[in-house]
Structure 1
Amino acid sequence: MSIYSAIRVLGERWPDVVRRLTADQRLRLRELLADAQAGPSLRLAMFLNDVLPEEHPVRAALLQDDTTLGAGVLMSPEQRSAWIDEILRGLDDDRNERLEHVDVEARSRIRRTLTTVPRDRVLDLGIDPKAPYVIDLDGDYPEFQFASGAVAETVRRVNILLTADLDPWGAADWWISRNAWIGETPLELLRTGRDDDVVALAAAVGEEG
């Protein structure tokens, strides 16, 4: 088994791979790649094997000889680290590209509309501010996410459907934008107990994307 050959192909096939992953899986991949910088990682190999289809090139690469990079070229620790760094940058670049879709005017409207709390407050609640289901607006966190002192299951599900970890401003904008079908914002629906409707609307956004 060659985890390093798989890492090489993972870097080359990154746009295809990231489209196949959920928010939780992207977060897990980041953790496993960081671990792999120290040496071979069976957990990373198992993860890639689980989340990718059998015919995917990354899975095929797992079957290559573990001492080679491509056609018989030895992979040094420096090469391994460079490949992993490139993939981690790909995670960040994908997030930054999506952030650009929400302009300055929209961000200003979001800040005026939503009450936020600082990172320290989120930590005090025992919540991981980096969790993929938490909207992070450059260090400010919309308070409605923690109305019950924790992230409610509906908010968690919706934020994952909206890929809030990659597009937090877009997710926040969705919560406060009036829906043409129902004449209310998803946040208003949430506050009146219409959780199923909120999830359905978010799922529809995922299908359109």
Structure 2
Amino acid sequence: MDEPRAGAAERLLALIGEHLDTIREELDDAQHALLLAWLKTLAVAPADDDRAVRRALQGVRLALLKLPPAHPVRRELDSLRGAVPLAGPGTVAGAQELMAWFGLPSPARGPAYGPDPERDLLFGQPVLSAAEAWGRCGGAPPPELIRLRGPDDRDRYPEFQFAPAGGTPHGVVLEVNRLLLADIDPWGAAAWWLSGNTWLGGTPAALLGRLPDHRLVGAALELAEGE
């Protein structure tokens, strides 16, 4: 086991709790909302599902890389030499505790949430209604498509998943979404597509059609495997 990473996830979560105020000051609204999205994804991950926990930790790591290099949390990440922090038995519980520190109900207490800034952010993106998605797909949308339940209890599909001018779903989006387990964790998958990615040099959704498909798949595979 890589000794610098052993128990690093719990240390990182504890450090986030110690520096909530400065993290909020250093991240803009979108960056902070995406950090919350990944922390919630971690908080609801089955503790024995190593893949889901590693993927959520990678999302948290990428969100925190927006902090300036001198910030204590960023320095902790840099000490791991760019690796995903190794999870321990208290990782998921630590994320649930952070929900309370951020002033949000813990997912362990039930499905209802109060104000949800990351959902507000994601619903600020262009979306299709369920009927529009059915029309674009020529029938039932494939399960790989990200489907988000809105405050009105209706399903919406982020529009970036579809080719422009009324097109069908991008094949690479379906491939990446399978890697991101979008059918299980649509919010985490949406956060990946809409957050900055240092490996790709931009936001994956904005890079559709601008980067070769294999680059997007490679970035998602790196996240899914926790490399």
**TM-score (norm: length of structure 1):** 0.48
**TM-score (norm: length of structure 2):** 0.44
Q: Which has the higher contact order (CA 8 A, sep 6+)?
A: 2
